[in-house]
Amino acid sequence: MRRVTLTRFLIEEQRAKGAIEGDLRLLVEVVARACKSISNAISRGSLTGSLGATDSENVQGEVQKKLDVISNEILLEANEWGGHLAAMASEEMDLPYAIPHRYPKGEYLLLFDPLDGSSNIDVNVAVGTIFSVLRCPEGVDEPDERHFLQPGARQVCAGYAVYGPTTLLVLTVGDGVHTFTLDRELGSFVLTQENLQIPADTKEYSINASNQRHWEAPVQRYVGELLAGKTGPLGKDYNMRWVASMVADVHRILSRGGIFMYPRDAREPGKPGKLRLMYEANPMAFIVEQAGGAATNGHQRILDLVPTTLHERVAVFLGSRNEVERVTGYHAAAR
Ligand code: P6P
């Protein structure tokens, strides 16, 4: 494998395919550098007193971990001065972040979950950063929440960093999915896998089974068939994994197939799901589809959903195409 850094890859992609014009390349490199800083911050954990919770809640009503706030700050400070962004939005902030007037603005909107799975951070389990890039609508100088509310199909770039045994950056600009591994000696992300493909079939599913009694009928039916194994209608035994960090569960699926599910459930009937559409489901759906997989909310393709609020939630079924199509078909049959 040619040892290609992220910068060289982005330049050569632009030269070969015109896939990544200047400001988008700058955006990806700045976000990657911020993810390196986040990786360093979380790797020091208790050494720097950065574990544990703050005494504040985010817009989701969740208690913020210190590292949620630190990671959010790292991404804001890394991106606000470069001139590539019109505004930013984060799981950790109620409203979009306007680029300070002292800095030039660019054509992109950046959305992120700065530290996904942060409930795992205090027990040293893999967490991650998820990001999504949209174009700011033409002629809009001061974008507000409305300008972010674009369907996921309009994303020009999406990616995540997973902070595990190694720190990885997984990226798509609409021309396949590629993985970069952080080489801490070089201080650079190095290309380690090109054009990831998710197998259409799988023997592994991912769901928080403790919520089983709250699921709707199509999910009860589908998971019941998975549990029935070889003697059941699917004719094979399945394994289950649930890390409770979406980034870690999705990365496993990108690496070896599987289906990830966070369905809506009866605990909060008013909520369409737990995961957030704009900066969790949409970027992951873009990546999964670019790797040959599928992503729906049980009824529709996630990337076709038209958002109504910045922090809206959505049910998520994503991964191996044949399994996602099966459980989505069960939702259609139940209507
Ligand atoms: P539960 C993390 O809080 C997260 O948003 C996703 O990363 C993860 O898949 C899910 O929630 C875990 O939810 O209910 O199993 O704790």
CA angle 190, 192, 198 (to 5 degrees): 140
Q: Which atom of ligand 1 is nearest to the CA of 247?
A: 7
**Distance of CA 214 from the midpoint of ligand 1 (Å):** 16
- Cα–Cα distances in Å, from 84 out to 23, 50, 138, 160? 5, 30, 15, 19
User: From the CB of residue 124, how many other CB atoms can be counted at a distance below 10 Å?
Assistant: 11
In this predicted structure, what is the pLDDT of residue 100?
96
DSSP of 322-333, one letter per residue? Answer: HHHHHHHHHHHH
| pTM of the predicted protein model | 0.96
Residue 248: its H or E element: helix 246-256
How many whole angstroms separate alpha carbon 225 and alpha carbon 68?
A: 38
Ligand 1 binding site (Cβ under 6 Å of any ligand atom) = 116-117, 119, 208, 244-246, 262, 274-275
In this predicted structure, what is the pLDDT of residue 58?
80
**Distance of CA 107 from the midpoint of ligand 1 (Å):** 32
**Distance of CA 104 from the midpoint of ligand 1 (Å):** 36
Choice from 163, 207, 246 to test ligand 1 binding pocket (greatest atom count within 8 A of CB):
246
**Distance of CA 118 from the midpoint of ligand 1 (Å):** 9
**Distance of CA 322 from the midpoint of ligand 1 (Å):** 24
How many whole angstroms separate alpha carbon 277 and alpha carbon 279?
A: 6
In this predicted structure, what is the pLDDT of residue 321?
98
Token pair recorded at residue 248: 């870690």
**Distance of CA 136 from the midpoint of ligand 1 (Å):** 29
Choice from 65, 245, 267 to test ligand 1 binding pocket (greatest atom count within 8 A of CB):
245
Specify the amino acid at residue 85: L
Closest of 63, 111, 109, 118 to residue 91, by C-alpha:
111
- Three-class DSSP category at 119: helix
Q: Which atom of ligand 1 is nearest to the CA of 119?
A: 3
Closest of 104, 130, 112 to residue 23, by C-alpha:
104
Which residues 6+ apart lie within 8 Å of 55 measured at CB? none
**Nearest residue by C-alpha to atom 2 in ligand 1:** 117
Task: Please state the length of the chain.
Answer: 335
* Domains by residue range for the chain, with CATH: 6-193 (3.30.540.10), 204-333 (3.40.190.80)
108-32-161-255 Cα dihedral, nearest 10 degrees: 100
How many whole angstroms separate alpha carbon 26 and alpha carbon 21?
A: 9
Q: Print pLDDT tens along the chain (335 aa).
A: 568 999 999 999 888 888 788 899 999 999 999 999 999 999 987 777 778 788 888 877 778 888 999 999 999 999 999 999 999 999 999 999 999 999 999 999 999 999 999 889 889 999 999 999 999 999 999 999 999 999 999 999 999 999 999 999 999 999 999 999 999 999 999 999 999 999 999 999 999 999 999 999 999 999 999 999 999 999 999 999 999 999 999 999 999 999 999 999 899 888 999 999 999 999 999 999 999 999 999 999 999 999 999 999 999 999 999 999 999 999 999 98
Token pair recorded at residue 270: 């008013």
**Distance of CA 245 from the midpoint of ligand 1 (Å):** 6
**Distance of CA 246 from the midpoint of ligand 1 (Å):** 6
How many whole angstroms separate alpha carbon 16 and alpha carbon 289?
A: 22
- Cα–Cα distances in Å, from 85 out to 52, 69, 135, 223, 301? 32, 21, 9, 43, 28
How many whole angstroms separate alpha carbon 303 and alpha carbon 277?
A: 9
Do the beta carbons of residue 320 and residue 203 sit within 8 Å? no
**Nearest residue by C-alpha to atom 3 in ligand 1:** 117
Handedness of CA 184, 189, 191, 194 (dihedral sign): positive
Q: Which atom of ligand 1 is nearest to the CA of 242?
A: 15
Choice from 112, 122, 262, 314 to test ligand 1 binding pocket (greatest atom count within 8 A of CB):
262
Q: Which atom of ligand 1 is nearest to the CA of 116?
A: 7
